[in-house]
Amino acid sequence: MRRLVLVSCLMLAACAQQPPRDDSLYQSLGGQPGITRIVEGMLLNIADDPRIVAHFREIDIERLRDKLVEQFCVEAGGPCRYTGDSMEESHKGLALTPSDFNALVEDLQLAMEREGVPVTAQNRLLARLAPMRGQVIDR
């Protein structure tokens, strides 16, 4: 019994020492509703973007929207869990170029601007998404 109490105390102490989750970016993006509006705005921008719209013609846009909302939420420090495929798997065989990736980023930036997201928050989100570039291009 004494051992169980000791283990329980150690587990509680470990939990208490964990730093609080930083959700400041999530909050700056407007939480779940704001992220949803940003993603939907980005998808509308893509639909009007002749540079990349063809890459999305055969895509289930509702599923894409849902997975992007999850992913952006996770990257922003929100209380979400990403349930989609890896970036490598999602983009396999698409032969996307750096120009394609840059066009999508521009469409995302425009959506964030239209939502009134502060530039510092935009840059923080883009910095968190940037490592995915290598997982997307030429897969």
pLDDT at 5 over 70: no
What are the domain boundaries of the chain? 22-136
CB 91 within 8 A of CB 78: no
CB 35 within 8 A of CB 78: yes
Find the mean pLDDT for residues 6-33: 69
Whole-number Cα distances in Å, 126 to 4, 39, 51: 46, 13, 20
pLDDT of residue 2: 55
Backbone phi and psi for residue 88, each to the nearest 5 degrees, phi listed first:
-60, -45
Mean predicted lDDT score pLDDT of the chain: 88
| Fold that domain 22-136 belongs to in CATH | Globin-like (1.10.490)
> What predicted TM-score, i.e. pTM, was given to this entire model?
0.83
